[in-house]
């Protein structure tokens, strides 16, 4: 098992995927991996989410696929059963914390406030999603969190794209950044996998260039 920091460290960015058509799961995952993005968050927002996690786990060995939008213990168990290597939640509940405590699959819970962050720390979890990032104060809020909590790391998500990613990458607490901008619905509808790979490469190049110069 890898822990959540180890997984997120391998992700230049984390695409947050809402897969409507199960037939898209494997070519989409391959397109992202080909573009240099191996860590994929497949949300349970669509009925295809769980079977997509299973299909990608089986057919795309270079992908590290996790589940997103896991909102209760039942989802957590189904996500693990489908082969998720990590689990992401939009928020933090006791049910999720209890499910994660009994599992070897790492949980990356969403937090938006200092109190939620402290609740995660009470349960030994110090690698978190910051969600919804832009609506919750953005990079300025994360920078402020680092004062009292210098050892907590984040994957901010929500409202982030190449237009503002640098604000987050500049923070030491940011391991990587998540978002849906890599998979616009028009590209998915057109099954334009080369277009997805191009967007992935563009994001990877951007992050690499930023990290190289800083």
> Where on the chain is the footprint of ligand G3H (CB under 6 A)?
16, 68, 131, 157-160, 178-181
Q: Give residues in contact with ligand PYR (CB under 6 A).
A: 43, 68-69, 88-90, 110, 129, 131, 157
Q: Which does 180 bind (CB under 5 to 8 A by kind): ligand G3H, ligand PYR, none?
A: ligand G3H
Q: Measured from the CB atom, is 44 or 102 closer to ligand G3H?
A: 44
Reference 152, options 187, 186, 118; nearest CA is 118
Q: Measured from the CB atom, is 103 or 180 closer to ligand G3H?
A: 180
Q: Measured from the CB atom, is 89 or 173 closer to ligand PYR?
A: 89
Q: Measured from the CB atom, is 135 or 194 closer to ligand G3H?
A: 135
In the complex, the smallest distance separating the C-beta of residue 68 from ligand G3H, rounded to whole angstroms, is: 6
Q: Which does 85 bind (CB under 5 to 8 A by kind): ligand G3H, ligand PYR, none?
A: none
Q: Which does 182 bind (CB under 5 to 8 A by kind): ligand PYR, ligand G3H, none?
A: none
Instruction: Taking the CA atoms of 170, 108, 9 and 194 in sequence, report the sign of the dihedral they define.
Output: negative
- Which backbone phi and psi does 140 adopt, to 5 degrees? -65, -40
| Bridge pairing between strands 178-179 and 14-17 | parallel
Q: Could you tell me the CA-to-CA distances from 21 to 25, 48, 103 in Å, in that order? A: 7, 6, 29
Residues noted as catalytic: 41, 129
Using an 8 Å Cβ cutoff, are 66 and 43 in contact? Answer: no
Q: Starting at the edge strand that comes first in sequence, how are the strands of the sheet with 110-111 ordered?
A: 110-111, 127-130, 153-156
In the complex, the smallest distance separating the C-beta of residue 88 from ligand PYR, rounded to whole angstroms, is: 4
In the complex, the smallest distance separating the C-beta of residue 176 from ligand PYR, rounded to whole angstroms, is: 14
* Number of C-beta neighbours around residue 112 at 10 A: 21
In the complex, the smallest distance separating the C-beta of residue 80 from ligand G3H, rounded to whole angstroms, is: 19
Three-state secondary structure call for residue 174: strand
């Amino acid at each position: 098992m890898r822990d959540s920091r180890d997984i997120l460290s391998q992700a230049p960015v984390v695409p947050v995927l809402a897969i409507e058509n199960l037939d898209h799961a494997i070519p989409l995952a391959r397109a992202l991996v080909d573009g240099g993005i191996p860590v994929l968050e497949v949300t349970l927002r669509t009925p295809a989410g769980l079977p997509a996690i299973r299909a990608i786990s089986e057919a795309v060995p270079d992908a590290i696929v996790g589940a997103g939008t896991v909102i209760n213990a039942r989802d957590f168990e189904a996500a693990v059963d489908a082969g998720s290597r990590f689990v992401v939640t939009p928020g933090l509940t006791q049910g999720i914390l209890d499910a994660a405590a009994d599992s070897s699959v790492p949980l990356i819970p969403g937090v938006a406030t200092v109190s939620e962050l402290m609740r995660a720390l009470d349960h030994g979890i110090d690698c978190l999603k910051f969600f919804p990032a832009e609506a919750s104060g953005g990079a300025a809020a994360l920078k402020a969190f680092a004062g009292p909590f210098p050892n907590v790391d984040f994957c901010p998500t929500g409202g982030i794209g190449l237009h503002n990613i640098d604000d987050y990458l500049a923070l030491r607490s940011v391991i990587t950044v998540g978002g849906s901008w890599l998979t616009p619905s028009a590209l998915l509808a057109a099954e334009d996998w080369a277009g997805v790979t191009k967007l992935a490469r563009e994001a990877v190049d951007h992050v690499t260039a930023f990290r190289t110069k800083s």
